[in-house]
Structure 1
Amino acid sequence: MRCPYCTYLESKVVDSRSTEENTTIRRRRECLECGKRFTTYERIDELPIMVVKRNGGRERFDRNKLLNGLLKSCEKRPISRDQLEGIVNSVEQQIRNQMEDEIETTVIGELVMNYLSKLDEVAYVRFASVYRQFKDIETFRMELDKLLGE
């Protein structure tokens, strides 16, 4: 590890800790040349997951895009950002556990709706209305009936 102060290539690890999410290791290092301390973060370099869109196009899985969609669905609802980030983390973990390099948007949408239906019914209906592209009031009513029937 190159020292950011003197560019010397050797350092010793003084302290190591996992982050709260256990996705990264924080290491406090001390340069063996100049003695200054600096922090590095170590994480697993995961292969990108490609999302297959409805039109057949492909793009990299973007957790921020998913989080933004959830934020819109949950606007003015009593749902914390931590809860939404928890949903995104869970969905991403389920996707990675499938060990596939591609996943369809329909699978991601269904996973998200499964979590939202347990968390907040209004947010669920908002998300479903965009995700399922309700074309008319009848489709919307059928989704509400299904929700009320559970």
Structure 2
Amino acid sequence: MNDPATHFATAASGTPTGTGRYVDRTAITPVEILPGLSFQPVLGTDTLLNFVTYAPHSEAPLHTHEEEQVVLVLEGELHFQLNEHTRVMRPGDVAVVPAWVPHGAHTLDVPCVQVDFFNPPRQTLVAQADAAIAASSQLCG
């Protein structure tokens, strides 16, 4: 069981790696990587979060990558393939994709919004995320 005093400790035991920032997702210009499939990435120091929007009848083809990925469905319905198993995911459903595991997704008649968490940051999204930082961040000081 987690100890609240330990979990919410206020004594710093390390050196901050940055000042932190707030991100306005609406200020991140979506990039359509395939027809009906748009990305809005947010880059941290060691993690990348990516808002993914699927139009009805769109697809993220089966693929692999070196980064671990956690998928969280926020809105709609997504047919998600992990290895050779496909499951319909709805809001609140989560899939964990280890490095190099084949996966892909598609929508039918219902659009979908999902959030992907990548560790380390997904290299194919870093440049887009860097560009979004200037447009959508408010630094904390």
Bin of the TM-score, shorter chain as denominator length: under 0.3
More strand by share: 2
More helix by share: 1
What's the TM-score, normalizing by structure 1?
0.23
Higher relative contact order (CA 8 A, sep 6+): 2
What's the TM-score, normalizing by structure 2?
0.23
Larger Rg: 1
